[in-house]
Structures are given as C-alpha cells and as structure tokens.
Amino acid sequence: NMLFSPTSLTECVREWEDLEKNYQQIQDTHRLYKQKLEEVTKLQNSCTSAISRQRKKLKELTVSLRECKENHPNPKLSAEELEAIGEIEKSTKERTNSFFEMEAFLPKKNGLYLSLVLGNVNVTLLNKQAKFAYKDEYEKFKLVVTVILFIVSFTCRFLALDALFYFLLVWYYCTLTIRESILITNGSRIKGWWVFHHYVSTFLSGVMLTWPEGVLYQMFRNQFISYSLYQSFVQFLQYYYQSGCLYRLRTLGERHTMDLTVEGFQSWMWRGLTFLLPFLFFGHFWQLYNGLTLFRMSQLPQCKEWQVCVRQSLKKKQSLSCSAAGRPVGVSNKQLITGLLVFKVLFF
C-alpha cells in the first residue's frame, strides 16, 4: 500500500523522468560511438591501402636501384650518388619495420590456420594495453598448465589416468597454436620454429592418446610419464628464468613488449643460466634415450602398432628441425645449446 501512496508515486514519476533523460543521453552517446566507429573503419581501410601502395612502390624502387647499380659500375657513379643510394636502401629497410609496427594495430585477414579454426573473425587488438594483457595472459596460461601437467603426470605414476593426461597434452598444444597465431596477428615476433614445434607436439600427443593398451605401450609408458614429469619441472624453471630476463630487457628498452619468454641473452644472464644448464642437458639426453627406446621397440617382431614407428620418426624430425631453428629447451639437443652459448659469448 505504501508503494502507491501519493508521495511514493510522485517519487516514482520523478525517478522515471530522470531515467528517460539518462536514456536519451545513452542513445546520443551510442549514436556518437557508431559514428566514430565508422570513421575508425574508414581510417583503417585507408591506412591499409596506403601501406600496400607504399610497399609496392618501395619494392619497385629497390629493383630500380639494383638495376642502376648493376648497369652503372662503381667508377661511373660518384661518391654522392653511391651515398644517396645507400641512404635510400637503409631508409627502405627502416620503413619496412615501421610498416610492421603500423599493421599490428590494423585489422588483417586471418591466416589459414586461424581461418579454419575461428573463421573470418577479426582477432586484432587495437591498443597496446589489450595486446600486452593478452600476451601476459598467454604466459600465465603456459605456467598454470605446466603446473597442472606436472601434477597429473605425477599422479599417473600411481593411478591409470593416461588417457586424461594425453588428452590434456593435445588440448594444451592445440590451444597454444591458436593463441600464438593470434599473437602473431597482433605483432608478436614469434619464431616459426616455435609454432611448428607445437604443431608437431600436438600430433605426437594425439599419437600417444590413440596408442592402444598392450605390451609395447607398457614398456614405454613409465619412461614417457617420467620424462613428461621432468620436462614440466624444467619448463617451470625455464619460465621463471626467462621471464626475469625478458622483464629486465624490456625495462632497459632492448626488447619488444610483445616478445615471449623464449629469447634474449646478455652477459648478466650467466648467473641463472649456469644453474639451468645441467637440467637442460639432462633433458636432451633423456629425449635421445626415448628416441633410441622407440627405435628398438620398432625392431621387435611383436611390434605391430603404427604409433611406435610414427612417434619414433617424428621425434627425430622434431628434434632436428627445432635444433636447427634454435630452441634451447625441451626438444632441442645438447649440441645446439653449446653452439648457441659460444655464439652469444663471442659476439655479444
């Protein structure tokens, strides 16, 4: 009854009138927002077209300069002309890097993989805060799942949770490939070998998931579970070492904000790296031992599972490809780390 008293009704009418005014303001704000959004879309298309035209003209100019130098040997070109050509070539390279930074904030078509998984959804983040937040969330995701994998692999030593563990590996690496493709679209300079390694790891995890229960599987099971447990532990150590190095490099202004915890080396990093190296070398020897074990199993007369041969051959190719590209953790080999460290010490 108090709700419909004259005083309460008057207050309700006044409240409604205030809401009406506020609603009109919301409509005006939303109308302005759509107008600005259309303007932003036009500016994005204009920038994208201008960059494409400029890049095409720069490519033509580079070809013309090359022909000019070939058709006119050095004696026929003055020092000023050679200097001018050098300046143009240098500026062209700098402009290419500048275009890469610009395109990181412009919508672009998804690559083949993202198109198959997500369709034609725009995944470009249009401000630095959103980009860095997504990259930071990617790093935290890796850390959290690494801890979960460590716990599950430890549990598998006592309980038969193999299918759950392998399914978790497949899901983890699939998710990583999608997230890394989105990061690349947003300007992150992830190396191709890093993404390729995760594609191969996804397939190998699927091979383990489909490996039927049998004598050969039991021969390899405990060895692989133990290796996965150790690998999760090493990746946990590596994450904290490299995240600390990357944070310091960003603070010094020597790394890009979208770089991941997979690169970067300075002389002051030796202190932490000397602690990490024994774990890395041991992991590489263990992986080599896994490959030899699978090879011996493939030679047994009772070996009829295709998973043994496929996993053994792909493990070898994965190690070779990732080693050649430069991954110093997980699946690369001891020769790579030694060569990489020597190179860093000599040239940095």
Which DSSP symbol is given to 71? H
Closest CA to 100 of 258, 261, 248, 249: 258
pTM: 0.71
Contact 195, 177 (CB under 8 A): yes
Q: Where are the domains of the chain?
A: 21-106, 114-301+333-347
Which residues have C-beta within 8 Å of that of residue 107, sequence separation ≥ 6?
Answer: 44, 48, 122, 124
Tokens 């709700």 sit at which residue?
3
Digit-by-digit pLDDT tens for the chain (348 residues) are 444 444 677 888 888 888 899 999 999 999 999 999 999 999 999 999 999 999 999 888 888 888 877 776 555 667 777 788 888 888 888 888 888 888 888 888 888 888 888 888 888 888 888 888 888 888 889 999 999 999 999 998 887 888 899 999 999 999 999 999 999 888 887 888 888 889 988 988 888 888 888 888 888 888 999 999 998 998 888 887 777 766 666 666 555 555 554 444 444 444 556 777 888 889 888 888 888 888 888 787 777 766 666 666 665 545 444 333 333 333 344 444 444 444 333 333
- Count H helices, E strands: the chain? 10, 0
How far, in Å, CA of 109 to CA of 105, rounded?
13
Instruction: Tell me which H or E stretch contains 312.
Output: helix 306-325
